[in-house]
Amino acid sequence: MPELPEVEVVRRELGSLRGATVVRVVSNDDRIFVRQDGTDLGTDLAGRVIRDVGRRGKWLRFTLDKGFVFSHLGMTGDWTLRAPGDDPLAFERLRMDVRRRRAIMSARYTDPRRFGRFIVASEDIDAWRALGPDPWLDGIDEPRLLVELGKRKRPIKAVLLDQSLLAGVGNIIAIEALWRARIDPRTPAAAMNGRDVRAIARGLRLVIERTIRYDEAMIEGRRARPPFRIYGRAGAPCARCGDTVRQMVIAGRGTVFCPRCQGRHAPAGG
Ligand SMILES: [Zn+2]
C-alpha cells in the first residue's frame, strides 16, 4: 500500500504536468472517478490549466485554474506518464491527456484493486482538510506531538497511523520508526515522554528520507540499499540485536517488532 514516500515520488513525476492544459479526462470507472456534489467544473475538465501538483500525506492535489482534482492511490494505485497514442496499461482506470505548448502527455492511472479515488471538486474536500501536518513537507512539531500523544491511550503503533496527527504515516513507516526509536509498539501513546517523541520523530524522518531515495533509485534503475530494517522480517534475526523478530496484530494491523531491543515502556500484561 503506498505510504508517504511512494506518493511523494509519484508527485515529483507528475510535477512535469505543471502549467499544462487538460485536453480530456477519460474513465469508465465511476468508483474511482468521482465528481463531488455541487461542483461546477463543466463536463470533462477540458481547458483547465494545472497550476500545481501538491501532496499532503497520501493525497495528491492538482490545483487547477478553477477547482481541484484530488487523487488517492488506495491500496494499489499508481500514475504513469505516457504518450497519448500508447496502448492502455494493464488495470488502467483513467487517463488524463494534457497539452503543454505542442507536446501532449497522457497521465495514466492504474489500480488493480480499485480502492483509489480521482475526485473533481470546486474546493478542498473534507478528507484533505482533516489531514494533520505532513512530516516530510511541514516537519514534525515535537512539542505538539507530545501533547497530542498525551491525549491518546491506544497503542503508540496504532496512534501513529492517525492521519489527523501526522499525514502519510502508514503501517510500514510506523513499524520502522518504532524499531529505530527502540519503543515497544504496544505501549499506550500517553506514556510517551519528550525523549521518546524525539526518537520517534528522528525515526520517521530517517525512514521517509531513505524510502524516497530508494524508490527514486528503483525508478531510475540504480542500485540502492533497501530502506527497511525490520518490516517483512518476522521470525528472522533482528538486524540490531540478533533476537527473533516477532509478529502480532495491533488494532487490526500486522506489526513486527523486536521484543529485546524495543524494550522501552513494555506494557503491563502485554
Ligand atoms: Zn532487536
pTM: 0.94
Give residue 269's pLDDT.
57
Give residue 44's pLDDT.
72
R_g over Cα of the chain = 20
Block residue for cell numbers 496504532: 158
Those residues whose beta carbon sits under 5 angstroms from the ion ligand 1 are 238, 240-241, 243, 258, 260-261
Q: What distance in angstroms lies between residue 258's CA and the mean position of ligand 1's atoms?
A: 5
- DSSP letter at 206 equals H
User: 5 catalytic, yes or no?
Assistant: no
Strand-strand pairing, 68-72 and 59-64: antiparallel
Give residue 42's pLDDT.
66
Give residue 39's pLDDT.
73
Grid cell at residue 139: 516537519
Q: What distance in angstroms lies between residue 232's CA and the mean position of ligand 1's atoms?
A: 14
How many helices, marked H, and strands, marked E, lie in the chain?
6, 11
CA distances from 102 to 21, 64, 105, 161 (A): 11, 20, 10, 44
Q: Are 92 and 110 in contact (CB under 8 A)?
A: yes
Give residue 56's pLDDT.
98
DSSP secondary structure, 23-39, as one string: EEEEES-TTTEEE-TT-
Give residue 18's pLDDT.
97
Q: What distance in angstroms lies between residue 188's CA and the mean position of ligand 1's atoms?
A: 20
Ranges in the chain, pLDDT < 70: 40, 42-43, 266-270
